[in-house]
Structure 1
Amino acid sequence: MTRYHPALVALHWLLALLIVGALIGGAFSLDPVPEDSPDKVGVLRLHMLAGLTILALMAGRLVLRLTTPHPPPADIGNATLNQVAPAVHWTFYALVFGLAASGLVMAAEAGLFAIVFGAAEGPVPDLDQLRARTGHGLFALALALLIGGHVTAAVYHQAVRRDGVLRRMSLRR
């Protein structure tokens, strides 16, 4: 076997787009909007829907990852890095689930579900005052850094090693 299951590949790329979008949206669309702005609820709604979608898709991806055959680990040309790579991939799952969990805790603490999805009126509380906000920010930063390293490794495999490792995550045969 030289490729991942097509459903895993499709979820990989869909989740990549959603996660990068949610990270960018959180940093550049959500944080700058003041809590008392009427736009805050709409931006939060979009961010929370994206987060919930990511959580559901990531759970499905984890189940598929554990139940489908997959190719052997890629050889990066260094024994230590070969051992680190699988841990990095599992760290993606941990960070995404941690980010989602901290977002859910933050939403519960602030009563955001009622405010954002229309069951209650009122301004959005100051989210920076919530205990889970710090964890949410740290998970987001760690995930962004890990994504940067992942992309760098993919470019290294493609441009330097030329080992075709990206074909494993391609839907094309």
Structure 2
Amino acid sequence: MTRYHPLLVALHWLLAAMIILGLILGGTVLAETANDDPFKLTALRMHMSMGMIILALMLLRLATRLTTRKPPHSDIGNALLNWLGQAMHWALYCVVIALCLSGLATATMAGLPGIVFGGSGAPLPADFAAFPPRAAHGALAFLLGVLILGHAGAGLWHHYVRRDGLFRRMWFGQREE
């Protein structure tokens, strides 16, 4: 077998785009928009909706990964780097899921579902830092950014330096058994 299941491939690229967009939206637009700015509700609605969709798709991706056949792990001749490659993938799953859950916890504690989706008319909290999961959410977002850079860097290294065809495993095409 040379390729991952087509659902894993599709979810990989869809989630990559959504996660990067969510990080940008959270780290720039939301971070730089005052809580009393009316646009903040729109941005929060987009960010929170995207986070819930990411969580659902990530859980689907995890279930698919655990229940489908997959190519053997890449072996580049270095046990530590082989282990780090596998650990990186599991870290991405864990951090994305934890990031979504910390966002959900922050939103729940701040009463955001009713404010953002229910139209309660209540104002946003003055400062989200008052809610403990918010600190975890920020730290996890930073960690996820680092993991994404490492993951993308490793992918580019495999593709352009090693030229080992590893990229094809997570791309669309005929799945050979």
Q: Deviations over 1:123-163 (max 9, x none)?
A: 21121221111000011000000000001000100111000
Q: Deviations over 1:83-120 (max 9, x none)?
A: 12111101111101110110011011100000000241
* 1:73 paired residue number: 73
Q: How does 1:58-69 map to 2 (within 5 A)?
A: 58-69=58-69
Q: What TM-score comes out, normalization by structure 1 length?
A: 0.97
* 1:120 paired residue number: 120
The 8 Å contact of residues 5 and 69 in structure 1, kept in 2 or not, is answered as: yes
Measured in 2, the distance between the counterparts of 1:153 and 1:20 equals 17
- Choose between structure 1 and 2 for higher RCO, CA contacts under 8 A separated by at least 6 residues: 2
Corresponding residue SS for 1:120: coil
Q: Does 1:44 align with 2:68?
A: no
Corresponding residue SS for 2:88: helix
Superposed CA RMSD in Å reads 0.9
The 8 Å contact of residues 3 and 70 in structure 1, kept in 2 or not, is answered as: yes
**What amino acid sits opposite 1:102 in the alignment?**
S
* 2:159 paired residue number: 158
* 1:25 paired residue number: 25
1:76: Cα distance to partner?
3.0
Structure 2 gap ranges (5+): none
Measured in 2, the distance between the counterparts of 1:30 and 1:36 equals 12
Structure 1 gap ranges (5+): none
Corresponding residue SS for 1:121: coil
Percent sequence identity is 50
Corresponding residue SS for 2:32: coil
* 1:103 paired residue number: 103
Structure 1 residue runs of 4 or more that deviate by more than 6 Å after TM superposition: none
Number of residue equivalences: 173
The 8 Å contact of residues 3 and 168 in structure 1, kept in 2 or not, is answered as: yes
